[in-house]
Amino acid sequence: MNVDVNGPKIMFRIPVAGGIPVTETIVNMWAIMVVIVALCIWLSRGLKMRPTSKKQIVAEKLVTMLYDLVENTMGKRNLHFAPYIGTLFTISIFGSLSSLVGLRPYTADLSVTLAWALVTFMMIQTLTIKNRGVGGWLRGFVEPVPFLLPLNIVSEVASPISMSFRHFGNIAAGMVITSLLYGALAGLSSVVLGLISHTIASIPIFQLGVPAVLSVYFDLFTSFLQAYIISMLTMVYVAGATE
Amino acid sequence: MLERAIILAASAVGAGLAMMAGIGPGIGQGYAAGKAAEAVGRQPEAKGEITSTMLFGCAVAESTGIYGLVVALILLFANPLVNLL
């Protein structure tokens, strides 16, 4: 039984400053980014005032859904955040779903989700300062009573950590459980087939089809849910900062 | 060698114990799902809104369990304690 659970492999090194490692995560992410950009260019080409092609109807539906969601969650005055939320959702869902085509999902790397959460964190702090001024921002830490200052700081710092760990943990757990299952199925099929003949014992026949059932939950459902959650949390936090 | 074995065994036990953090989110999410089922029974026309609110709440309630999972994953796959020897 051979279970292979590792961090992202280092694909190559950029020969600058002692070799900067470029991991599987970065390579996969650039590949997915190319796919997303190509998809966006294809969807937005040849748009007409009255949609005649199915392509344009789908694109309009997606954009309308995004703007409706942002308007319902953040209010009309924050509608200009919709492109950022849409980008976050798209890159997250494509990344998590890339495990379906055999790539290592880059959302199973903490650096990716932590980067997204830090962008949101900086956005929240900047918007709070912009809206309430530096004094108002600092006063927010000693409300309702100055005694709560350490707790307020901890809760402020904890939000990007919990956001990134949640996304990373869900996808990474799915990856670990899937690889454990593949190992277990290989072991099971070698035991069962070993009873029949030793020559066919190494064929992992039970790996066929069985993991697909779990994949519906761990790949499809979790990917959609986590992309929804991270964009929803971003919307809620940012809307709170602009009040 | 023995010290290493002790550390590895204790890490495995620790990873198992860390996953006890899954109890809390399990109870919490079950409670949330039950309440959502009640709400849908009372107001079937608001099913979409209730479902998305429930999923959102469940995912937030899950974070403590995820912290436990991250600790367990670190202990199993990136054990920092072995290097301390």
A131, A241 contact by CB (below 8 A): yes
Give the mean model confidence (pLDDT) for residues B44-50.
87
The pLDDT tens digits of the residues spanning A92-126 come to 999 888 888 878 888 888 889 999 999 999 999 99
Mean pLDDT check: name the lowest of A55-64, A161-170, A200-209, B48-57: A200-209
Report ipTM (2 d.p.): 0.71
The pLDDT tens digits of the residues spanning A63-84 come to 999 999 888 888 888 888 899 9
Residue B52: its chain A contacts at CB < 8 A?
A: 228
Return the HEC string of B3-69. HHHHHHHHHHHHHHHHHHHHHHHHHHHHHHHHHHHHHHHHCHHHHHHHHHHHHHHHHHHCHHHHHHH
Closest partner residue to B63 (CB to CB) among A5, A162, A172 is: A162
Best probe of the A interface among B53, B73, B74, B79, by most A CBs < 10 A, is B73
Ramachandran angles phi, psi of A144, nearest 5°:
-75, -25
Angstrom distance (rounded) from CA A201 to CA A89: 44
Residue B69: its chain A contacts at CB < 8 A?
A: 169, 173
B56 with A229: Cβ contact below 8 A: yes
Which residues make Cβ contacts (< 8 Å) with residue A65, sequence separation at least 6?
A: none
pLDDT class for A6, splitting at 50, 70, 90? Answer: low
The size of the A-B interface in CB pairs under 8 A is 38
Residue B62: its chain A contacts at CB < 8 A?
A: 166, 170
For chain B, domain boundaries = 2-80
Angstrom distance (rounded) from CA B67 to CA B20: 11
Tell me the shortest Cα–Cα distance from B40 to chain A, in angstroms: 20
Q: Is the pLDDT of residue A4 over 70?
A: no
Per CATH, the number for B2-80 is: 1.20.20.10
The pLDDT tens digits of the residues spanning A16-54 come to 777 788 888 888 899 999 999 999 999 888 777 777 788
Tell me the shortest Cα–Cα distance from B59 to chain A, in angstroms: 7
In Å, what is the CA distance from A170 to each residue of A55, A86, A133, A217, B4? 33, 21, 37, 11, 30
Tell me the shortest Cα–Cα distance from A135 to chain B, in angstroms: 31
Q: Is the pLDDT of residue A175 over 70?
A: yes
Best probe of the B interface among A232, A234, A235, A237, by most B CBs < 10 A, is A232
B73 with A228: Cβ contact below 8 A: no
Length of chain B: 85
